[in-house]
Structure 1
Amino acid sequence: MPRNIVLLQCVTSNPLHVPSPFSDAKPGQTCKDALDKIRFKSIADKSALEGEPNMEVRISFDRESRTVTIADTGVGMTKVELIENLGTVAKSGTTNFMEQLGGEGNEDLSMIGQFGVGFYSIYLVSDRVTVASKSNDDENQHVWTSMADGSFAVGKDPRGNTLGRGTEITMYLKDDASEFLDDYKLESMVKKYSEFITFPIYLRKTVAETVLAEDEEEYEDGNEDEDDLEDLDDEGEEDDEDESQVSADKIKVGGVEVPLGEGGYDPDEDSVHDPSIKKEVFKFEWVRANDSVAIWAREKDEVSDDEYKEFYNNLSKDGTTSENWIHFKAEGEVEFKGIMYIPDEAPHDMWDRYYDKEAKIRLYVRKVLISDEFDDLVPQYLNFIRGVIDSDDLPLNVNRESLQQSKILKVMGKKIVRKALEMLRKMATTDAEFEADKDEKGDVKKAPYIRFWEQFGKSMKLGVIEDSSNRSKLIKLLRYKTSKTGEDDWRSLEDYVGDMKEWQQHIYYIAGADIDTVSKSAFCEKLHKKGLEILYLVDPIDEYAMQQITEFDGKRLMSVTKEGLKFGDEDEDLVAGREKAYNKKFQPLTRFLKQTYDKNVAKVVVSQRVEDSPVVIVTGQWGNSANMERIMRAQAFSDSNKNSYLNAQKTMEINPRHPLITKLLDMVLEDDRSQGAKDAAMMLYDTASLISGFQIEEIEDYNKRMLRVLKDNMGVESFDLEEEIEPEEDEEDLEDENEEDDGDAFDIDDLEGVGAEL
């Protein structure tokens, strides 16, 4: 062999860590190419199929000899072609065939492949390989043999012309490749990588069959093919007839003939344990392993809804269903066809497997699976979409790592994302025309996109965070609960903007733990009074996504829990005048509160946002909100010191019209050093923290303040503890003690008797 062949065989026969060749699409594609060639030739020359009219692939294995055989009835190879194609790396029989066709002006057959490199991958599991091939251009069938030792032999097949036409590859497996000596394993590999090949692939499987005990001898070897079992010679038929006549009078039980009828052995026809009635034997038969149809290659109008649903079931194999799909053909720099589905329900382990490499969209090249582990074909946030993509523009022979860096693959990925978002946009559009109806259980059926959102809404929010190029499209797909929605209703940002008041300039939102909490928040009091709609962000990921949305349709998004809140309907002169007056009146109180709170707050100001509550704590525009601090604290590996610069810069806003605030102002004016004023101020701060969603930091001081307040309100003079109480003895216990004392008494006469004896 050439030196490069020897080196390649050494690498493939002694790999450090490489996948099995059966996980490569090459074997299936090689057979398909060979069959495509003979089919193309038969169009011009009908005699091309005379040697073997069927165009198919057959796979079998033999446990005793440890071999796996793959045979096709394709174009086959001559002796010269065996040497050239199997003895030179990157020498492609398909490429040569295309060059010949191209020279004849035929350019409509798309076959791209390299035989050499792909073929030698079988040495990953094989010690020795033999290739028998018969071509119409050669009257003899030849065999190529190599043991990966740098040499090969080619000669006339001593078995004669057993193939008729085609190629048969026999692999003698290594000791660590026994897993492939199993029909289930081979069938699963065929279904995964070659399920949609046009030509039938048959697998020789072991099947169990129940027969009469007298017929067991026909199956005792267990190696008869289906055709052999059907073709019995005349002599055998006569023997069967004689045997059937004998069996009418006698039957074998444990190897001994026993007469039937009276006094003899009379079997029970209903007994499953009667050995004379039934016997389980094993035989071989050819079963088609690729019965699925590549419906993506057909026109959309030619595929029914039932076919789309059946194809999804074959694709998913998890019992889920899908009512939404898109069948498309992409053209331009790269052309491909595909079908993508959105499952009706999210998998239960969807987020546990978010970063798994296995993609739900499979990449095919001419109906042969290349891989389902492309990380970059679709972004992670679309990992719930399932489907197939089939392209003729991708090279089949390159490895997965090279293909991931391919410019073609990146272009395909962008088009796939656009098609997926287009499908979602159409779903969202149809919701406007959806008429609510009841399902089989009597429940009100939800609109298609709302059903999707409740299952996969978190994925769309992740898309807003991760996919900047498609962010504007994804933002339109977001849905929120708001102050104007019911229990089962959702609103888009377009819906919000469409219902805004004429003077409204911002889109308002509030983030919190749940809808009940945020809807009753003190921050929303004035907005409720003005009739302004508020977005409720109650998913932990909502606020992360909102940080990527600065505005929508010219309207800036504004958090109601941060400083700088404006409504748009204010009389600026009136607001400025009141602010000046309030600041002057409450200056002693704001100064006192700032001194009392020290570093806990950055400043204390008079509020324009609160309506009924006495006080709230707001945060700066660029710091973390109270909800974000809560989320970050809950993270297992959070580092409070590392993110301290993002901690909220708190501003306390007091309600100048609330009686507690005016009373506290009077207390400060009367004596700003009194403990009562300080305790009231700190209790106000604690209350504001809880109202605003913050945690109380200094629990010890908080407990002491609460106890002092209780002490004053209840009139307790001191916290000194009373003496321990002395337990009282029970009257029954005293009586029992007296009875015991009575039992121990003795008579004086007893003493006298004792003395007399002495």
Structure 2
Amino acid sequence: MKKSLLLLSILAAISVVAAEAPGAQAAFGSSGESVVVPDSFAFTGEAGSELPILQGEKFQFQTEVSRLMNIVINSLYKTPEIFLRELISNGSDALDKIRFQSLTDPAALESNPSLNVTIAVHKEQRTITITDSGIGMTKEDLQKNLGTIAKSGTSEFLETMSGDKADMDLIGKFGVGFYSVFLVADKVRVRSKNNNDDQYVWESTAVNDFTIAKDPAGNTLGRGTQIVIHLKEDQDQYLNDSHLQELVTKYSEFINFPIYIRRTKTKTVESKPVETSKDTSKDDEDDEAVVEEAKDEDVKKSTPVTVTYEEDDLMNTNKPIWIRDPKTVSETEYDEFYRVLTREPDAKSMAYSHFKAEGDVDFKAIMYIPSKVPKDLFQRADSVQHNVKLYVKRVFITDGSSEFLPRWLSFLRVVIDAEDAPLNVSRETVQSSKSIKSIAKHLVKKMFDLLKSLSQDEEKYADFIKEFGTSLKLGALEDKSNVKKISRLLRYHSSDSDKYTSLEAYVSRMKKGQKDIFYFTGSNVDEIKQSPFVESLLARGYEVLYMDDPVDEIVLSHLNNFEGKSFQNVAKSDLKLGDEDEVQTEKELETKFLPLLDWMHATLLNEVEKVRVSNRLTTSPAALVATDFGWTANMERLMEGQAKQNKDPMHQFIKNQKKIFEINPGHPLILGLLERASRDPKGFEEDKHFQEMTKVLYDITLVRSGYTLKDGVKAFATRVENMLRVNLDVDPTAEAIYEAPQAELRDQEEIEAEIEKREDILEADEPVPGMMSAEELNKMLKEYTDSTNPSKAGPDGANVDEIVAQVEKELDSEEADQTKETVHDEL
């Protein structure tokens, strides 16, 4: 027999015929259907009873296999549940082989026409039986496949695994799937029937040897392999049908062949009716009496009977649509598969991409964009993601790798099936970093293609931006290699349209002489529209991008420019509008308003860096502008939200940087202040009212510019009140007139009544004589709980029944009936 055939039951990554081959898809039924299984395939006899001692020929494991099993059991696999995946995968390989053989030899299937895997649990015997109707093994196959590993450098591999350092070049070259059964079993019996030999039994306890004998039960399988697993004492969870179903669904739901779990069920049926009639007289002489009794109708009686029967429930009803040609898959199938992928019956996707990639690793994949952002998307950004599921030949390998997608794309849901992925020996992780990078590169490329296609539909893409726009912006910060592609996918609100606009579209609409992309950041669009910073720009016809995401300002400062156009925050000091006579106009205004600028700067000397005439205001009297390297109001709020940064000296230094106070040269209030300052340019210190008005204007401007009041609300309210007093000619030092009635002390009679009432309450809280206090009861219950013997309690080891009897004896008064019942229930 060929070496590839001998390795059937042990190599985890054996080649499987492509799913598109004729007949590759076995006939699947619906979940829970009753399946007729041949008697030879039934789990009867030894499979469901205590295994007798096998009498046969004993063989010693090769030394390397014995050592390998020790590594498998103790070190190799992360979780024992992997054994089920490995055995089902081996069974699937065996089924593929016999199906492949039947293409040239139709008689190969005559011994057992069914092609499936069936799992049965026998709780009383604590065994799990896994049966496949695959190609089966001869006696020689059992000895070689399950007793040795084909010569392929195994000794060197074992030396590598056992040493202090692992040679990673060897990882991925060996399959040890069968031996994973000893993670949960202390004894394994394998029956196998190949068309070219009799049925034989292999048995081992994974110690030093194994036994092979001709099956005394004869050919019960017809063809195939049956593995009876005797579970270890601490592995009872695998005797639970629902747990096995969960594992099959997790690891093997897309296997080509049907996988059944055999369940024992009961139902009540009506027994066959029994006809009875009243006795007739044997006295032939009394003919009349006989006739009379013969007229009575027969009485039919039936008794309900409970019938126990076995039924096979189909586990893998879902189809691996990713292996099909995308042209043959309907929209409905993609939607249904997404619900299977997410395990959410109402889940919907926004868009998807079904593709095949070729390169260092060939694979097929389906990528979905959810319709809604996951609630914990950013909370779990630093934890392991489970959004990418890796399969190899439709066998689930892992969803715990964070290397297939960059963190900012963690909202995607992806299925990958890599036929030749370089796995480590336990098949739980992809070993080659080069292969992972190749897969990740393909996924990111397809994601950009998918978003580019989605952006053609403005309405759908607007929904995407609402849900995942922040993820794109994080990508612009994290993914340097793709930052230009990401910048073209960004969308923002704009003063030019109620719809989202791209940076590319903004640049196409820029005005003559405009060199910068103007934007402003705030809490929401309505707040931004009312900001004094955008007034002049909008009045002149310039377009401003409205950015209401907290991360926007950081992203644009990181991008720096788009297609050579710099980003200009209109709340920063260096705002150039491109007007031809701008410089000359500014100089003239600075000269005209010099007295007012000097007065204001002297008043706000400790608050602002300087006061200047503004070119960005139209209707607001003033604005507070951040320096080019200072924090805007939006950035200040964002940084204040970082609690850990509040004590950072650099944080405090930047926060306390002075701003620039800009005034509107065309506002009536500013012109009125200018007139007042121009009357006596040297009289600043004498005009206290002017100083108060300037401070009030500064406070108002702070709020309108988005900053918080530096001196608090109380100081601001006091300044406004003082201005009102001056305007109403009210004495600034006058205080409010009020007379508050004083609260009276309690008299002695009221005090004594309160004391008496308190004593009544305390007396009512006193425990009834003979009743256990709450403290005593809790102590007794704790002693019982801490007792090492469940039937004993207390330091003296008293029996619980004795404690209950003692307590009940103490609670024999009628007044304590209710308390007695409560204590009894507690015990």
CA RMSD of aligned residues (A): 3.3
The CA deviation string for residues 536-579 of structure 1, in whole angstroms up to 9 with x for no partner, is 111223223323322223322211111211122x11xx322222
Where does 1:88-103 land on structure 2 (aligned, <5 Å)? Answer: 88=148
Q: Is 1:525 matched up with 2:535? A: yes
- Residue matched to 2:702: 689
The CA deviation string for residues 66-123 of structure 1, in whole angstroms up to 9 with x for no partner, is 1112222223333343343333468789xxxxxxxxxxxxxxxxxx98442x333232
Contact 2:423 2:430 in 1 (8 A): no
Between the aligned partners of 1:597 and 1:206, the Cα distance in structure 2 is 87
- Residue matched to 2:443: 416
Contact 1:664 1:680 in 2 (8 A): no
Where does 1:501-650 land on structure 2 (aligned, <5 Å)? Answer: 501-568=511-578, 570-571=579-580, 574-642=581-649, 643-647=651-655, 649-650=658-659
| Cα 1:580/1:75, change in 2 over 3 Å | same
- Residue matched to 1:470: 482
Contact 1:85 1:92 in 2 (8 A): no
Per the TM alignment, residue 635 of structure 1 is displaced from its structure 2 partner at its CA by: 3.8
Between the aligned partners of 1:520 and 1:722, the Cα distance in structure 2 is 38
Contact 1:86 1:115 in 2 (8 A): no
In structure 2, give the amino acid aligned to 1:144: E
- Residue matched to 1:314: 340
| Cα 1:602/1:718, change in 2 over 3 Å | closer
The CA deviation string for residues 299-331 of structure 1, in whole angstroms up to 9 with x for no partner, is 122222232223223223311223632221112
Per the TM alignment, residue 526 of structure 1 is displaced from its structure 2 partner at its CA by: 0.7
Q: Is 1:197 matched up with 2:255? A: yes
Between the aligned partners of 1:722 and 1:394, the Cα distance in structure 2 is 84
Contact 1:183 1:206 in 2 (8 A): no
SS at match of 2:235: helix
- Residue matched to 2:389: 362
Q: Is 1:714 matched up with 2:728? A: yes
- Residue matched to 2:89: 29
Per the TM alignment, residue 505 of structure 1 is displaced from its structure 2 partner at its CA by: 2.1
In structure 2, give the amino acid aligned to 1:622: F
Per the TM alignment, residue 247 of structure 1 is displaced from its structure 2 partner at its CA by: 8.0
Per the TM alignment, residue 680 of structure 1 is displaced from its structure 2 partner at its CA by: 2.1
SS at match of 1:308: helix
| Cα 1:415/1:16, change in 2 over 3 Å | closer
SS at match of 1:602: strand
Per the TM alignment, residue 646 of structure 1 is displaced from its structure 2 partner at its CA by: 4.1
- Residue matched to 1:375: 402
Between the aligned partners of 2:91 and 2:728, the Cα distance in structure 1 is 93
Give the alignment partner of residue 40 of structure 1, picking from 88, 100, 109.
100
- Residue matched to 2:178: 119
Per the TM alignment, residue 249 of structure 1 is displaced from its structure 2 partner at its CA by: 9.8
| Cα 1:601/1:31, change in 2 over 3 Å | farther
- Residue matched to 2:120: 60
Contact 1:143 1:157 in 2 (8 A): no
Contact 2:76 2:426 in 1 (8 A): no
Per the TM alignment, residue 5 of structure 1 is displaced from its structure 2 partner at its CA by: 4.0
SS at match of 2:481: coil
The CA deviation string for residues 629-649 of structure 1, in whole angstroms up to 9 with x for no partner, is 112223454425352354355
Contact 1:465 1:545 in 2 (8 A): yes
In structure 2, give the amino acid aligned to 1:653: E
Where does 1:113-512 land on structure 2 (aligned, <5 Å)? Answer: 114-116=174-176, 118-146=177-205, 148-212=206-270, 214=271, 244-246=273-275, 282-318=308-344, 319-322=346-349, 324-399=351-426, 403=430, 406-431=433-458, 447-486=459-498, 489-512=499-522
Contact 2:85 2:248 in 1 (8 A): no
| Cα 1:263/1:114, change in 2 over 3 Å | farther
Per the TM alignment, residue 627 of structure 1 is displaced from its structure 2 partner at its CA by: 0.4
**TM-score under structure 1 normalisation?**
0.77
Fraction of identical pairs, as percent? 38
- Residue matched to 2:716: 702
Contact 2:492 2:502 in 1 (8 A): yes
Q: Is 1:72 matched up with 2:98? A: no
Per the TM alignment, residue 264 of structure 1 is displaced from its structure 2 partner at its CA by: 12
Contact 2:136 2:193 in 1 (8 A): yes
Between the aligned partners of 1:113 and 1:263, the Cα distance in structure 2 is 81
Per the TM alignment, residue 689 of structure 1 is displaced from its structure 2 partner at its CA by: 1.1
- Residue matched to 2:21: none
Contact 2:192 2:201 in 1 (8 A): yes
Between the aligned partners of 2:338 and 2:736, the Cα distance in structure 1 is 78
- Residue matched to 2:664: 655
| Cα 1:357/1:208, change in 2 over 3 Å | farther
Q: Is 1:678 matched up with 2:691? A: yes
Per the TM alignment, residue 667 of structure 1 is displaced from its structure 2 partner at its CA by: 4.2
In structure 2, give the amino acid aligned to 1:480: Y
Contact 2:276 2:300 in 1 (8 A): no
Contact 2:572 2:626 in 1 (8 A): yes
Contact 1:5 1:150 in 2 (8 A): no
| Cα 1:149/1:514, change in 2 over 3 Å | same
| Cα 1:401/1:157, change in 2 over 3 Å | closer
| Cα 1:48/1:611, change in 2 over 3 Å | same
The CA deviation string for residues 256-313 of structure 1, in whole angstroms up to 9 with x for no partner, is xxxxx9999999xxxxxxxx67566553211221122222212122222232223223
Contact 2:202 2:210 in 1 (8 A): no
Contact 2:277 2:298 in 1 (8 A): no
Between the aligned partners of 1:16 and 1:92, the Cα distance in structure 2 is 19
Between the aligned partners of 1:21 and 1:306, the Cα distance in structure 2 is 33
| Cα 1:622/1:40, change in 2 over 3 Å | farther
Between the aligned partners of 1:485 and 1:659, the Cα distance in structure 2 is 32
Per the TM alignment, residue 399 of structure 1 is displaced from its structure 2 partner at its CA by: 4.8
Between the aligned partners of 1:527 and 1:703, the Cα distance in structure 2 is 33
Contact 1:515 1:538 in 2 (8 A): yes
Per the TM alignment, residue 621 of structure 1 is displaced from its structure 2 partner at its CA by: 2.7
Per the TM alignment, residue 401 of structure 1 is displaced from its structure 2 partner at its CA by: 7.5
Contact 2:189 2:201 in 1 (8 A): no
Runs of 5+ in structure 2 lacking a partner? 1-60, 154-171, 280-294, 743-827
| Cα 1:285/1:683, change in 2 over 3 Å | same
**TM-score under structure 2 normalisation?**
0.71
- Residue matched to 2:799: none
Contact 1:85 1:115 in 2 (8 A): no
Per the TM alignment, residue 137 of structure 1 is displaced from its structure 2 partner at its CA by: 4.3
Q: Structure 1 residues 411-420 or 345-354, which shifts more? A: 345-354
Per the TM alignment, residue 428 of structure 1 is displaced from its structure 2 partner at its CA by: 0.9
Per the TM alignment, residue 11 of structure 1 is displaced from its structure 2 partner at its CA by: 4.8
The CA deviation string for residues 391-419 of structure 1, in whole angstroms up to 9 with x for no partner, is 11203454577526531122111101211
Between the aligned partners of 1:634 and 1:63, the Cα distance in structure 2 is 57
The CA deviation string for residues 652-677 of structure 1, in whole angstroms up to 9 with x for no partner, is 22223333334334544252113223
